[in-house]
Amino acid sequence: MLNRRHMMFATASAGFAAAGGAPTLALAREGEVAKLNALFDDIMAKQLRQSPETATGLGLDNGDLAWTKDLLSDRSAAAIAAGKVQTAKQLADLRAIDRKAIKGMDAANYDTVEFVLAVQDEGNKQFSYGGGGSGAPYVLSQLTGSYQQMPDFLDTQHSIETKADADAYLARMEGFARLMDQETALAKQDMMDGVIPPDFIIDKTLIQMKAFADTPTADAPLVKSIARRTKEKNIAGDWAGEASKIYEGSVLPALKRQIALMEWARPKAVHDAGCWRLKDGGAYYATSLKNYTTSDLKPDEIHQLGLDLVKSISAEADKLFKSIGMKTGTVGERMAKLGEDFYPNDDASKEQLIKDLNEKAVWIQKQLPAYFGALPKAPLEIRRVPKAIEAGAPGGYYNSPSLDGKRPGIYWINLRDTKEQAKYTLTTLTVHEGVPGHHLQLSISNEAKGLPMIRKIIGFSGYTEGWALYSEQLAVEMGIYKADPRGHIGMLHDALFRAVRLVVDTGMHHKKWSREQAVKYMAETMGDEESGSITEIERYVVWPGQACSYMIGKIVWLRARAKAQKALGKKFDIREFHDAGLLSGMTPLTTLERVIDDYIVSKGGKA
């Protein structure tokens, strides 16, 4: 978790020369840009060597990179230490390049990569736990750790077309066991240093780990995946048998060692939710906020912003409720009433829900040309979150398509309990995770021409989640809720949800709120099922700061659009605005604002 349409995004040297600048300065710029792109190539090559999963995720694990397909990352303490040294050197090498000699899209590339390296380096130098860096203090939790991610990765991203692909799958199963043991060692060291997840996080983690471990080998997703796919491709061999041996001999023992570690830590765990209790916890939260929001807003500012937005969004929802005859009760109580309409909680109804959402996404896609110039080529699929991880997984999330176009974008919806997915909220969830939200933005990012490869793998929660939340607002303007006032209330429900996040995330990690206080505030404000609120709050506990990125990102996108509209007047074209922001790739929010300023100037306006 980038078809270039505007010539203003051409390389700075070409743009300067066309304007009649001094040749020596143009050559200097060419020299600095050449250094910049050479450094980007070197960083990317190292990334692919050190994270073979990246090559697979991008669909690049073939040809010259075919060697990556049977490997997984190294999360040993030695590899992490070497990575920290490498990050510091890459940052120094980047800063040795003359930023003043770089303009246009090259400057956006520089600023984007510089931000990533700087915030990583800051976290690496300050904090040792969580594997270093910031934003995820616990190596193992209900949302972190390869046990939670690797089975789905191998099933949906590791392609099997040949015997060599199947052999690589088995090699990665062995690598998965090694990776779990490395994470166990990291987590144990953190725990010895006092970095133990809260008791309720350990409890949820153990539920998921034990569900994984208790699955009979023949039914295990890791075994079924290779058996099914080799059969589909007529690849001879006893693949289920080979996978079963590795599963029982390597994977399960490594998983059980993680279970034993979590059970050992459980009596030592406290109930406090926030990272404030960890060593340098206040600084950790501040760095995590910077990492996720790409802003310099302070926790108290974010908390107050959330409270103000809860008030204003609730007032808007109240007006809509009155328009459909629901005039009594709090906004949360009335949302709870709408929430009583949901699909039955059985497999047949869940299949129908998925079918209905896919049809809704196809209809929305037909509305996009009026608002976007660039449109994604990659198809979108909506699937159910795998049962093995639904206990701790979010309500919905998205996997980007591969660069080679062979794997679609996938929007996953959690259907462990359909009461948590009220009908009036489903269109907005589809807008956010699908179109014009994550699928449109991330597919365009993948398909964009002229960006260094490194820009296609760098993601920013503030930009990406801010775009998806902005898309929810855009859907109102597109008329998606014109004949669906309840769906419009669902959009406000989700906007309120993101405002509440600002309050509870800062509440727990800065103001020392308890888990229960945060759950109560969220459930009462929004009228949601408490089980859904619990899942959300526990997510924020293990990813401090991430939940704040959505609303802050939306505000920046809206502010940038308002600035462009004011500066350009009648010359403003929303399709060109969207293209400017999306075709420039994912950036920190401050860089996005500079990109939009460049767009305004290119259209004859004053930024």
Task: Please give the order of strands across the beta sheet that includes 409-413.
Answer: 380-384, 409-413, 396-399
For the chain, the straight-line distance linking the first and the last C-alpha, in angstroms and rounded, comes to 31
Taken as a whole, the chain contains a residue count of: 607
Q: Exposure of 436 by Cβ count < 10 A (0-12 exposed, 13-18 middle, 19+ buried)?
A: buried
Kind of pairing, strands 409-413 and 396-399? antiparallel
Q: Are 293 and 553 in contact (CB under 8 A)?
A: yes
Task: Read off φ and ψ for residue 380, nearest 5 degrees.
Answer: -115, 135
Give the pLDDT of residue 23: 35
Q: Rounded CA gap, 45 and 51, in Å?
A: 10
How many Cβ atoms from other residues are within 10 Å of residue 63's Cβ?
6
281-293 and 104-126 helices, crossing angle to 10°:
160
By the 10 Å C-beta count (0-12 exposed, 13-18 middle, 19+ buried), 76 is classed as: middle
Distance CA 107, CA 115 (A): 12
Give the CA dihedral 423, 429, 435, 439, nearest 10 degrees.
-140
Measured between alpha carbons, how far is residue 495 from residues 104, 313, 413, 425, 499 in Å? 34, 7, 18, 11, 6
- What's the pLDDT at 386? 85
396 touches 426 (CB < 8 A): no
Q: Is 291 helix (H, G, I), strand (E, B) or coil?
A: helix
Q: Are residues 112 and 585 in contact, defined by beta-carbon separation less than 8 angstroms?
A: yes
**DSSP track, 385-426:** PPGGGTTTS-SEEEEPPPTTSSS-EEEEE--S-GGGS-HHHH
* Strand, coil or helix: 314: helix
Q: Cα angle vertex 15, ends 14, 17, to 5°?
A: 65
Alpha-carbon distance of 604 to 567, in angstroms, equals 9
Q: Which residues contact 116 (CB under 8 A, 6 or more apart)?
A: 458
Q: What angle do CA 284, 286, 290 make, to 5 degrees?
A: 115
pLDDT score for 523: 93
Q: Which residues of the chain have pLDDT under 70?
A: 1-29
**DSSP-assigned letters across all residues of 456-509:** HH---HHHHHHHHHHHHHHHHHTTTTTT-HHHHHHHHHHHHHHHHHHHHHHHHH
The DSSP string of 547-570 is GGHHHHHHHHHHHHHHHHHHHHGG
Domain coordinates in residue numbering, the chain: 3-126, 146-271, 286-345+361-377+416-551
3-state class of 588 per DSSP?
A: coil
Phi and psi for 384 in degrees, rounded to 5? Answer: -85, 140
- How many whole angstroms separate alpha carbon 371 and alpha carbon 572? 12
C-alpha 436/C-alpha 448 separation (Å) is 16
Q: Which residue has the tokens 């979108």?
A: 380
Instruction: Give me the pLDDT at residue 17, please.
Output: 26
Give the single-character DSSP code of 249. I
Residues 81-117 pLDDT 10s? 999 999 999 999 999 999 999 998 999 999 999 999 9
Please state, in angstroms and rounded to a whole number, the distance separating the CA atoms of residues 142 and 207.
Answer: 9
Answer whether 136's CB lies under 8 Å from 121's CB: no
Measured CA to CA, the distance from residue 586 to residue 360 in angstroms comes to 27
Q: In angstroms, rounded to a whole number, what is the distance separating the alpha carbons of residues 336 and 185?
A: 44
Q: What is the pTM of this model?
A: 0.87
Name the 3-class secondary structure at 42. Answer: helix
Conformational region of residue 586, where left means phi above 0, alpha means psi within -120 to 50, and beta covers everything else: beta
